[in-house]
Amino acid sequence: MSEQVPGVPGELTAGSYVAGYRIEERIGQGGMAAVFRAYDQQLDRLVALKVLAPALADDEAFRQRFIRESRAAAAVDDPHIIPVFAAGESQGVLFIAMRLVRGGDVRSLIDRIGPLPAGRAAEIISQTASALDAAHARGLVHRDVKPANMLLEASQTVDRPDHVYLSDFGLTKASLAVTGLTSTGQFLGTLDYIAPEQIEGRPVDGRTDQYALACAAFELLSGEPPFRRPDSVAVMYAQLHEPPPSLRQRRPDLPAGIDEVMGRALAKTPADRFGSCRDFAAALRRGLGVAVAGRESRPRDAHPPTEIASQVAPGPVLPARAESAADPAGADPSPAGAGHTQAAGYSAPDPLAAEAAPATPAQVPPSATPAQVPPSATPAQVPPPSARPEPGWPGTAQQTGQTARVSAGDDYAGLWRGDRPGAGLAAPAGGPAAPLASRRSWLRSPLLVGGVCVVVLLAGGVAYALTRHSTGAGSGGSGQQPPLRSLSVPGCTTGTARATTATSVTSATVSTGGNPFGIAVTPDGKYSFVSTGNAVRVLRDTGGLAPTQVRKITVEHAGKSLTLTPDGQFLLAAEGSGAVIINVAEAVEGAADPVFGTLTSPSGSGAFDVLITADRDFAFVTLQNSAKMAVYNLTAALTQGTSAKDFIGYVPLGTQPVGISSDGTWLYVANLGGTISVVSLRTAEQNPARSVVATVKAGCGPARTLLSADHTVLWVTDRQSDELLAFSTLRLRTDPHHALVARVEVGEVPLGEALVDGGAKIVIADSNLNGLTSAVANLAVVDVARALAGKPALLGYVPTGLLPRSVVAEPGGGTLLVSDQKSGEVQALRIADLP
């Protein structure tokens, strides 16, 4: 691959290098810059690399100011400002390396769905306002606030579906004014959002950004900015002279007071506007009647540290996705949300920042150097993947608080790739009171190896493994791996467990007709969807315990699982060789045909379960009749319409793959033939045929999978063993023969399962699918902590219908919904009444 940098950003192609970043794909293009997904060789991560036009780099004054302002912007401490990793000049090219964000931008969101719900719009504006006020406090003015610069990181959190990052700080809009590079208007603001004082060249401050934010808010709520005109001159005239239009006239469902709020923020004179962007956001929420979101902004330590330099400092180059025993396909098993890309923004959180987060400033002094490593540290060569012993290497690393010194060769990559355990860090025995870190060293991802937490530090080409034993049994929600005991997998049986039947559980039913199977509930809990064979039924929460059926949508062969996209905008119903996509808003509003399209694959049948990645970029469908799983580019399908091009490939699996779960790094698929397939999510997105990293024996008929809240335990219902099984997710990949850590006899043919009470209990649907006269269909309630401790864990049974299949807890955790395939009903139960 060539190290030569082409003359213009548009000429950079895959394989080109800029400042040590290897270009992978162009993901954005503007008049003065191009944005690429690039690979950071020093820190083994993907970044968004913005490369500025050569005309800017040719101006010495601009280059110097660019560095100063980039440094100032990177120093702003707010969780809603896009983290900048590096900025500078390399071989005459000015660049900025930023975090890669996967959820798209607000511009694309509006283009896709039109005006946003008031609550979602207010939340986006509030987070953007937080970023702007933080910048204003440091004397920075953004000057180009617009929906396209508001990036969304998708989340499955119910009360805040998006985390917003404001991008393009530090791109020196003022520098362009100084150098006269204003011909395109690219950096001096966008006309639809530009304040009057900015057009006239008068002094600007935070109120200028507030005006642009108000224009963006107007567009979020109405679908277009306030002064949309056919040409640029007309837009400028309107911004300067025309009063703001009535938002309520364009959207009559909004409260009457909203126009007063927007009128003040869009005042022509800065002094007439709100005192700060947060003040405007708060007034907007009040005007819309929207409460403040319940989830706090993410802490700053969830973001990677930023280093700004005139040029990327030299340093050791880490192996690029070297193959390891845990990841033969060369996948990058970064934590959830890390290492993914998105065409509109800057995505993929730095794996190092999240991994190193447990270390406090007291633990990792900036002045610490490799010379502080205790001389007693024992060298130990890391064996190649094929020769590695059972988990527990290397050498002295098994001793609590000891430091092992290992080589940092190519095979070293397998050591620092792994899960993040819950154990903290410990200082080396007899050494300094802190792990070692300096400007020329990097903390790598902690890894649990044989019950030991290994935290690796690179320094001077040597890897120091600081370790600490993981303790505690782990309850499935503690952040720790389950205990080190292991069990043998069960065989086939028709035995029925015994437990007390609870008779005081409040319940109610709603008839759906057909054969109800899959259930999906919108993030706000207002609507539920049920697959019934040849239709999807729409249920609405009307205040009672059980929802009310309001609509039937005909969808041939939609008789299996349903899954909503994390933002709740689309519903995917497993069907044929893929899935049918339904527009949720149209479905609940009664549109004649809410079916958006269909994902199909060239072969295969028996679509059973659907999983959608947190960023909504990809969809996975298990094909029960075909021993494989289909992978689709969901973003392409939703933005360009469904077509054969959406299909990416197949993941080869075991016999009759059905249930699927994911922690954002790995996929876990239950195969009725008796195994669990562990799949690298990232590799499956790019090369599905090579993405299976392990196939583990898992009883007689594993059917559904369910991850604990901390992703350390995979709970599997075994329909032919009549048991609930618990597997250590780490050992499924590293020590599969000892991965099974708990077994609970629950009842006849257990199928669906759901976590309740904050993950303390699991409810299982005992279907009695075989119709044994000695057994009954019911719900089994299991205590998670007791199960993992090896104690009797079956708390009791709850009477249900004739053949329960799926179990789903509604958002908020108050109600449990159970589909009954034989009675044609959905049962709602009060979770607080469960045993």
* Beta carbons within 8 Å of 526's beta carbon, 6+ residues apart: 540, 541, 588
Establish whether 144 is a catalytic residue: yes
- Cβ 87 vs Cβ 308: under 8 Å: yes
Measured distance CA(201)–CA(259) in Å, rounded:
28
604 dihedral zone (left: phi>0; alpha: psi -120 to 50; beta): left
CA angle centred on 624, ends 623 and 626, rounded to 5°: 65
DSSP state of 266: T
Q: How far is CA 517 from CA 452, 506, 510, 573, 821, in A?
A: 42, 22, 14, 11, 6
Measured distance CA(406)–CA(461) in Å, rounded:
10
Lookup: tokens for 463: 């890897």
- Cβ 50 vs Cβ 95: under 8 Å: yes
- Cβ 436 vs Cβ 459: under 8 Å: yes
Which has the closest alpha carbon to 642: 585, 699, 582, 700?
582
Measured distance CA(112)–CA(104) in Å, rounded:
11
Lookup: tokens for 262: 């927007």
For residue 86, count other CB atoms closer than 10 A to its CB.
26
Which has the closest alpha carbon to 117: 222, 192, 250?
222
Lookup: tokens for 139: 């004397």
According to the 3-state scheme, what is the secondary structure of 82-136? Answer: CCEEEEEEECCEEEEEECECCCCEHHHHHHHHCCCCHHHHHHHHHHHHHHHHHHH
Q: Which candidate in 78, 144, 411, 718 is catalytic?
A: 144
Handedness of CA 195, 200, 201, 202 (dihedral sign): negative
Phi, psi of 148 (to 5 degrees): -65, -20
Q: Name the burial class of residue 726, with classes exposed (0-12), middle (13-18) and buried (19+) by CB atoms within 10 angstroms of its CB.
A: buried
- For residues 595-629, one letter each, b for 16 or more C-beta atoms within 10 angstroms of the residue's C-beta and e for the rest, the string is bbbbbbbeebebbbbbbbbbbbbbbbbbbbebbbb
**In whole angstroms, what separates CA 513 from the centre of its chain?**
36
Cα-Cα end-to-end distance for the chain: 63
* Beta carbons within 8 Å of 145's beta carbon, 6+ residues apart: 128, 132, 166, 193, 209, 212, 213, 216
- Cβ 204 vs Cβ 164: under 8 Å: no
- Cβ 52 vs Cβ 32: under 8 Å: yes
Which has the closest alpha carbon to 172: 164, 181, 163?
181
DSSP H or E segment with residue 636: helix 634-640
CA angle centred on 649, ends 648 and 652, rounded to 5°: 150
Phi, psi of 128 (to 5 degrees): -65, -40
Handedness of CA 275, 279, 281, 284 (dihedral sign): negative
The alpha helices in 507-550, defined as continuous H runs, are none
Active site residues per annotation = 144
